[in-house]
């Protein structure tokens, strides 16, 4: 019965990690105001020194009602999961970063949870003590996965801002993957606190 709580906590953490890695972490959408788009088009067509062309385009725009356009149109949309970001980094030949993101946000968390699962069912012996030391070693990296999520969010936001400029209004929204991954982090911390690692016999 005393194993039921850590066992359940580890299983929940594993179950949350899968959608946390595969579901979208962040969605970015860029929208352009229609009237601003019309104004920018005029400025692009008319040279700064050509006042007559600019005045004619402004008059045509006013006659067509382009200066009174309301609403926005979608110009940019990007949704990424952790796994999707790993693939994008690899496709852009950022292999080292892709491997590090995958290692710290997928491989280490999965390994640690599986080792904890094995640890709670093992009888006390030398292998269990060795496994306990490995788990404690991995625990030192427990906040790296959270740091990876922060990097992915920053990467996506920075990438979008670099492409869009001032004309586009950006709107960011956390996806389901972010909340699943947050849930995984909380249950993983709880599991670590519930499992008592046996001290090494001297």
In this prediction, residue 202 carries a pLDDT of 46
**Closest by CA position to 80, among listed 161, 160, 13:** 160
Q: State yes or no: pLDDT of 48 exceeds 60.
A: no
87-145 confidence digits (pLDDT tens): 988 998 989 888 988 888 888 889 999 999 999 988 888 888 898 888 888 877 766 76
Please give the structure tokens belonging to residue 195: 């499992």
Q: State yes or no: pLDDT of 81 exceeds 90.
A: no
Please give the structure tokens belonging to residue 22: 């595969």
For residues 199 and 172, the model is more confident at 172
Say what angle helices 144-164 and 95-102 make with each other, to 10 degrees: 140
Mean pLDDT of the chain: 77
Mean pLDDT comparison of 48-62, 77-91, 187-201, highest-scoring range: 77-91
Q: State yes or no: pLDDT of 174 exceeds 90.
A: no
Q: What residues does each domain of the chain span? A: 4-32+75-194
10-46 confidence digits (pLDDT tens): 999 999 999 999 999 888 777 776 566 556 655 555 5
In this prediction, residue 75 carries a pLDDT of 65
Contact 68, 35 (CB under 8 A): yes
Please give the structure tokens belonging to residue 103: 């290692």
- Predicted TM-score (pTM) of the model is 0.71
Contact 103, 21 (CB under 8 A): no
Q: Please state, in angstroms and rounded to a whole number, the distance separating the CA atoms of residues 145 and 185.
A: 8
In this prediction, residue 27 carries a pLDDT of 81
In this prediction, residue 150 carries a pLDDT of 72
In this prediction, residue 80 carries a pLDDT of 80
For residues 133 and 78, the model is more confident at 133
Q: Please state, in angstroms and rounded to a whole number, the distance separating the CA atoms of residues 184 and 40.
A: 46
HEC readout, the chain: CCCHHHHHHHHHHHHHHHHHHHCEEEEEEEEEEHHHHHHHHHHHHCCCCCHHHHHHHHHHHHHHCHHHCCCEEEEEEEEEEHHHHHHHHHHCCCHHHHHHHHHHHHHHHHHHHHHHHHHHHCCCCHHHHHHHHHHHHHHCCCCHHHHHHHHHHHHHHHHHHHHHCCCEEEEEEECHHHHHHHHHHHHHHHHHHHCCCCCCCC
**Cα 8 from chain centre:** 26
């Amino acid at each position: 019965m005393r194993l039921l709580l850590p066992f359940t906590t580890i299983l929940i953490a594993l179950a949350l990690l899968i959608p946390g890695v595969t579901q979208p972490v962040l969605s970015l959408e860029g929208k352009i105001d229609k009237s601003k788009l019309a104004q920018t088009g005029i400025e692009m067509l008319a040279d700064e020194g050509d006042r007559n062309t600019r005045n004619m385009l402004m008059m045509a725009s006013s006659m067509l009602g382009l200066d009174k356009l309301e609403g926005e149109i979608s110009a940019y949309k990007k949704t990424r999961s952790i796994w999707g970001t790993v693939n994008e980094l690899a496709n852009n030949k950022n292999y080292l970063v892709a491997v590090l993101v995958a290692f710290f946000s997928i491989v280490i968390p999965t390994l640690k949870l599986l080792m904890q699962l094995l640890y709670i069912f093992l009888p006390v012996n030398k292998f269990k003590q060795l496994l306990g030391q490995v788990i404690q070693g991995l625990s030192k990296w427990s906040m790296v996965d959270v740091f990876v999520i922060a990097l992915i969010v920053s990467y996506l936001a920075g990438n979008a801002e670099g492409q869009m400029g001032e004309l586009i209004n950006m709107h960011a929204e956390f996806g389901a993957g972010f909340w699943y991954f947050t849930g995984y982090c909380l249950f993983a911390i709880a599991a670590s606190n519930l499992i008592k690692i046996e001290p090494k016999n001297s």
